[in-house]
Amino acid sequence: MKNKIAYFEELVKEKISEKRFEHTKRVLITALELAEKHNVSKEKVQIAALLHDYAKNLSSEELVDIIEKSGGIVTSLEKMEPEILHGPAAAIIAEKELGIKDSEILESIKYHTTGNENLSELAKIVYIADAIEPLRDYPGVQEIREAAMIDLDKACLLSLNSTLDFLLRKERLIHPLSIKARNYLIMKKLRSEVIE
From the options 1.20.1600.10, 3.40.190.10, 3.40.50.410, 1.10.3210.10, give the CATH code of 2-195: 1.10.3210.10
Q: How far apart are CA 41 and CA 46, in angstroms?
A: 9
CA dihedral 175, 41, 130, 111 (to 10 degrees): -10
Q: What is the pTM of this model?
A: 0.95
Q: Is 49 left (phi over 0), alpha (psi -120 to 50) or beta?
A: alpha
Q: What is the pLDDT along the chain (196 residues), one digit of tens a residue?
A: 668 889 999 999 999 999 999 999 999 999 999 999 999 999 999 999 999 999 999 999 999 999 999 999 999 999 999 999 999 999 999 999 999 999 999 999 999 999 999 999 999 999 999 999 999 999 999 999 999 999 999 999 999 999 999 999 999 999 999 999 999 999 998 888 776 5
For the chain, the domains span 2-195
The answer to whether residues 106 and 70 touch, using CB atoms and an 8 Å cutoff, is no
Cβ neighbors of 73 (< 8 A, separation 6 or more) are 67
